[in-house]
Chain A
Amino acid sequence: MEGYSKHSVRTEIKCGVMKNNATPPRMFQRLFRWFCRPDIRDHIEGDLLELYQERVKTNGRRKADIQFITDVLQLIRPGIIRSFKPHYHINQYRYGMFKNHLKSGWRNLMRHKTFTAINVTGLSIGICAALIIFLVVQYDFSFDKFEKDNNSIYRVVEKYTLKVSGKNYGGSAMPDPLPAAVAKEVTGLDAVVALTRGNTAKVSTQNGNKKTVFNDQEKIVFTNASYFKLIGYNWLAGNAATTLQQPYTAVLTASNARLYFPGLTASDVIGKELIFDDSVRFTVTGVVKDITENTVFNYKTFISRVTLETTSLKPWFWDRWNHAQQSLLFIKLAPGTTTANINTQINRLFAKYNKPNNEDPEIRTFDLQPLRDTHFKGYYDSNSSGLADKSILNGLQAVAVFLLLLACINFINLTTAQASQRSKEIGIRKTMGSSRLQLMMQFIGETFLLTVIATSLSVAATPFLLKAFASFIPEAVRFNIINQPGILVFLLLLVIVVSVLAGLYPAVILSSYKPVSVLKNQANADMGISRKAWLRKGLTVSQFVIAQVFIIATLLVSKQINYSLNRNIGMKKDAVLYFGNYTDTSSAKKMVLLNSLKAIPGVAMASLSMDPPSSNSSWIDAMKYEDNKKMVQTNVQVKIGDSNYINLYQIKLLAGNNLMNNDTMGDLLINETYLHALGFTDPHDIIGRYINVYGNKRVAGVVQDFNQKSLHETIMPLLITGGIESEHTFNIALQPQPAGSTTWKRTIDQMQQAWKEVYPDKDFDYTFLDDAIASYYTVEQNVSTLLMWSTGLTIFISCLGLLGLVIYITNQRTKEIGIRKVVGATVSQLVALLSKDFIKLVLVAFVIAVPFAWWAANTWLQSFAYRTTLSWWVFALGGSIMLVLAFIILSVRIIKAANVSLVKTLRTE
């Protein structure tokens, strides 16, 4: 509107006359002035106003307003609307101005090198983050898109609802008889595929007398021919239709075939033998091409599932419906079948074979999970590792958006702050006939130039960053701009969005200068107090709010991790390690090993148990307590251990006696939580009473509560009892190790020797308890590292912006600084004077950030059953960090400005 400045100047001058009159709706008056032909605008406006005043008197204000609006809208007609063509091309060479814009844009970037560097750095950081996060997100959402009809493939999953507490949890493991029953009895399915995941195995091949051994082979799965059809494998050798029908047959992927039988072609591998764990021989009957697409089906060795059904390898739980351990079940719906229908059928089927029973601690229901969700950690896979976490992905995307936003804010702040320096250029351009639109395009074009530079830098830096952050980024994420057209499109969109976001506002501001006032040097008369300054302040504050929230969040997350690792969880956790042989159920060898372990001088104590007191595995069952007054049924976690168990872990006995060494379940130890759940307060009262734990067992003692799992979980009722058959973990407490010595290493070597004497074929694989506990919090550790990086970057970008602003302010006020120094101001006074405004902004940001940070941290902490306090000092510390950083930046720059020679400062114009 102000583009037609001749008229608007006049309007503003004469507006004073209207003081006593009512004013019509401003917006519509402006609208009219905008669309009307300039030559007839003034007198029609006069007519409108005259009528309006008259109507206000006769009809009242409201009616007059409405009539005014109708009049304006009815004036939108061809004869009245102005021409929107800005100008006519005098010559045919259309790119003249474009060239000129490019040139002046480039010169401008070069003239203000500091500001250009600040802007490019900020934008590059934002774009790098956006690019890398885009790669990760794109990767994680690209899983299993290649299978034919992948939208109708589902995984059958299970939900367990505990009868006592009503709590529920999900699982993806299926009872092993289920797949066969589903295949036979459920209608409306195109495919039923069972996958039984095999344990890590030692695989060896025999070539004449030469035996080659491959230890710790993973990705072994028991399945049948329908699997290959469902996923769509390409066969290099073997018969797809008849594959895996015989026991002891196996199919390999090409990569594994090459590994086990180097130098042989696919068809030569057929008929070769693989020996698993030195005992079982499998014949290779097929080789398939590896899947190159991203998929959850990353298995490499396929063994016929019929092997498990018909041979001595059959697990003990194979026919049990109430046991779910290693099998996954995938189904493909026939066209027209609904998931609800299949769900009902499967649940009915399960109820038929596994009759619901009052003794069951939980209710089990089956559900279908779409294939595309199986790559993500979720309700049904809460404990699986190697899955993508959607909440982390969302967090990452938020970080990328924030970083980009900060960079854009920097750009807007610096450009509008510097706008006055270009006002002359704008005045001249307008006088020479530039339209407002043209000027806006020029400035957005300059932003575009800058963004393109930043993007090129980011593209160049990304491969290195991918390497630097390799521990966070899934291995398979690749950056190849040529092979991934998606990235090009994303970058293009990013450049456009950033250019517009960062460039639009400065372009509007810059192109709004009125040539008359600019050329008379009045354009900046009101800069200090104008709306622009407010906006700039607002943007700076929002920048610091983001940075501040990140700082406080980082501090709180670290505090919680620290708390989780250092909290007294009721047991000894340092200098304790454990290892086990999970397949040996006999007691003789275990006792031999235990005794030789005890004989090692570096071992303070040794104990046999099912698992350590703190572990992810859980044996939970409903136990019944009965006396003449009441009956209490509770879900109780069961731990099996010998008499050294609680001594070794220094679990405190509150009342009664320790367990006797028992080969079978004998006496019980219970924890305080269970004691309270049974309605007792004094631990002595329960000693000698009986609890039904697979038969009535006597309570021998009560132990103090300890955390059985991570601090996410509450302590649950627990009992400890004996039973050598289930004890396969050797717990070792080491003698304290003098600082700097390697006695532990020697002790561990001796333990390995002892182990090899008893189990020569098994690898010796030990874990320190404190490492195991730390691994409960890997997600949190990752979040923490991620937060630290984000915090670092947001602080960095915000401080860059602050630096830019303070450079600008000190430049503007060079002369003032000089004069103040002449009349006796000290440097510290100058610092106080100039930094006051900025410090205020940082403080305002702190006040705004605190509730956000408090809310976010509080929400996050809710996932922990035992959590650290949201202490005030964390917030205070976060605020101080930000304040100190801001103050350092401000004072360094201001001191520099204040120390410039007076002669120089006073001569600046």
Chain B
Amino acid sequence: MKKFQLGEFEEIVILTIGVLYKEAYGVAIKKEIEKRLSRSVSMGALHTALVRLEDKEYIKSYDGEATAERAGRPKKYFQITALGKKAMEYSRDTRNELWKAIPNIAFGLK
């Protein structure tokens, strides 16, 4: 049943990684989510999600360049893996199915 595990926030993060494509590193992801979803994202929450996604091998990372603002610390860029893509699709499909299964009357009564 639980073939792919993807939490709500994790899903947002991995989707944003997809949106940013080659530019997906910590600060960029944070800003993108904040911009698109108008919600604030703490560093703690974001990096925990990134760590989990990487642990589940839904995303992979490579070191990027270091800049002066970062005091020489390298950027770490993230990329969606094939498994990650499957997980995303699975998540979207299950939702779609659930959407479809809702009888129209359920909303009509509102």
Residues of A participating in the B interface, judged by any CB pair closer than 8 Å: 10, 14-15, 17-18, 20-21, 40, 42-51, 53-54, 70-71, 74-80
Does the CB pair B72–A17 fall under 8 Å?
A: yes
Q: Which residues of A contact B30 (CB under 8 A)?
A: 47, 51
The 5 A-B residue pairs with the shortest CB-CB distance, nearest first, are A46-B73, A14-B72, A74-B44, A47-B26, A43-B76
Does the CB pair A44–B68 fall under 8 Å?
A: no
Range, interface on chain B:
20 to 34
Q: Which of B70-95 contact A (CB under 8 A)?
A: 70-76
Report Cα–Cα, A798/B30, bound state, in Å.
Answer: 61
B67 at the interface (CB under 8 A from A): yes
Does the CB pair B71–A18 fall under 8 Å?
A: yes
Q: Which of B11-19, B45-53, B101-109 contacts A (4 or more CB under 8 A)?
A: B45-53
Q: Take A49-B71, A50-B27 as given contacts and tell me if A75 and B66 are in contact as well, using a CB distance cutoff of 8 Å.
A: no
Does the CB pair A15–B47 fall under 8 Å?
A: no
24 contacts between A and B (CB under 8 A): A14-B66, A14-B72, A15-B71, A15-B72, A17-B71, A21-B69, A40-B47, A40-B51, A44-B26, A44-B43, A46-B75, A46-B76, A47-B26, A47-B27, A47-B30, A48-B43, A49-B71, A50-B27, A51-B27, A74-B45, A76-B44, A79-B47, A80-B48, A80-B51
Q: Which residues of B contact A14 (CB under 8 A)?
A: 66, 71-72
B63 to chain A, nearest CB (A): 8
Does the CB pair B44–A50 fall under 8 Å?
A: no
Does the CB pair A71–B71 fall under 8 Å?
A: no
Report Cα–Cα, A78/B49, bound state, in Å.
Answer: 11
A8 to chain B, nearest CB (A): 13
Q: What is the chain A residue whose CB lies nearest that of B63? A: A43
Does the CB pair B67–A50 fall under 8 Å?
A: yes
Report Cα–Cα, A47/B70, bound state, in Å.
Answer: 7
B96 at the interface (CB under 8 A from A): no
A12 to chain B, nearest CB (A): 11
Q: Which residues of A contact B52 (CB under 8 A)?
A: 79
Does the CB pair B69–A49 fall under 8 Å?
A: yes
Q: Which residues of A contact B72 (CB under 8 A)?
A: 10, 14-15, 17-18
Q: Take A17-B71, A21-B71, A75-B43 as given contacts and tell me if A46 and B48 are in contact as well, using a CB distance cutoff of 8 Å.
A: no
Main secondary structure of the interface of B (DSSP, over half): mixed
Q: Which residues of B contact A51 (CB under 8 A)?
A: 27, 30, 43
Does the CB pair B47–A44 fall under 8 Å?
A: yes
Report Cα–Cα, A42/B48, bound state, in Å.
Answer: 15
Q: Which residues of B contact A77 (CB under 8 A)?
A: 44, 48
Count of A-B contacts judged by CB separation below 8 Å? 85
Q: Which residues of A contact B74 (CB under 8 A)?
A: 42-43, 46
Does the CB pair A43–B71 fall under 8 Å?
A: no
Report Cα–Cα, A610/B18, bound state, in Å.
Answer: 112
Q: Which residues of A contact B26 (CB under 8 A)?
A: 43-44, 46-47
Q: For A47, give its contact among B43, B45, B48, B68 (CB under 8 Å).
A: B43
Q: Which residues of A contact B69 (CB under 8 A)?
A: 21, 49-50, 53-54
Q: Which residues of B contact A74 (CB under 8 A)?
A: 42-45
Q: What is the chain B residue whose CB lies nearest that of A70? A: B42
B61 to chain A, nearest CB (A): 8
Report Cα–Cα, A25/B66, bound state, in Å.
Answer: 21
B25 at the interface (CB under 8 A from A): yes
Q: Take A40-B51, A47-B25, A47-B27 as given contacts and tell me if A17 and B68 are in contact as well, using a CB distance cutoff of 8 Å.
A: yes
Report Cα–Cα, A752/B100, bound state, in Å.
Answer: 130
Does the CB pair B76–A79 fall under 8 Å?
A: no
A700 to chain B, nearest CB (A): 99
Which interface residue of A10, A79, A80 has the most chain B CB atoms within 10 A? A79
Q: Which residues of B contact A21 (CB under 8 A)?
A: 68-69, 71
Which interface residue of B42, B66, B71 has the most chain A CB atoms within 10 A? B71
Q: Which residues of B contact A80 (CB under 8 A)?
A: 44, 47-48, 51
Does the CB pair A43–B44 fall under 8 Å?
A: no
A706 to chain B, nearest CB (A): 84
Q: Which residues of B contact A71 (CB under 8 A)?
A: 42-44
B77 to chain A, nearest CB (A): 9
Q: What is the chain A residue whose CB lies nearest that of B48? A: A79
Q: What is the chain A residue whose CB lies nearest that of B71? A: A18
Q: For A75, give its contact among B27, B47, B73, B75 (CB under 8 Å).
A: B47
Report Cα–Cα, A44/B75, bound state, in Å.
Answer: 8
Does the CB pair B44–A42 fall under 8 Å?
A: no
Q: Which residues of B contact A78 (CB under 8 A)?
A: 48
Q: What is the chain B residue whose CB lies nearest that of A16? A: B72
Report Cα–Cα, A43/B72, bound state, in Å.
Answer: 10
Report Cα–Cα, A49/B67, bound state, in Å.
Answer: 10
Report Cα–Cα, A45/B43, bound state, in Å.
Answer: 10
Does the CB pair B68–A18 fall under 8 Å?
A: yes
Q: Which residues of B contact A10 (CB under 8 A)?
A: 72
A646 to chain B, nearest CB (A): 93
Q: Which residues of A contact B71 (CB under 8 A)?
A: 14-15, 17-18, 21, 45-46, 49
Q: Which residues of B contact A76 (CB under 8 A)?
A: 44
Which interface residue of A45, A46, A70 has the most chain B CB atoms within 10 A? A46
Q: Mark B3-38, 1 if CB is under 8 A from A, else 0.
A: 000000000000000000000011100100000000
Q: What is the chain A residue whose CB lies nearest that of B70? A: A46
Q: What is the chain B residue whose CB lies nearest that of A72? A: B43
Does the CB pair B51–A49 fall under 8 Å?
A: no
Report Cα–Cα, A17/B71, bound state, in Å.
Answer: 6
Q: What is the chain A residue whose CB lies nearest that of B73? A: A46
Does the CB pair B73–A42 fall under 8 Å?
A: yes
Report Cα–Cα, A78/B25, bound state, in Å.
Answer: 21
Q: What is the chain A residue whose CB lies nearest that of B47? A: A44
A30 to chain B, nearest CB (A): 14
Q: Which residues of A contact B44 (CB under 8 A)?
A: 71, 74-77, 80
B18 to chain A, nearest CB (A): 19
Does the CB pair A50–B70 fall under 8 Å?
A: yes
Report Cα–Cα, A51/B75, bound state, in Å.
Answer: 12
Q: Which residues of A contact B45 (CB under 8 A)?
A: 74
Q: Which residues of B contact A47 (CB under 8 A)?
A: 25-27, 30, 43, 47, 70
Q: Which residues of A contact B68 (CB under 8 A)?
A: 17-18, 20-21
Report Cα–Cα, A53/B68, bound state, in Å.
Answer: 10
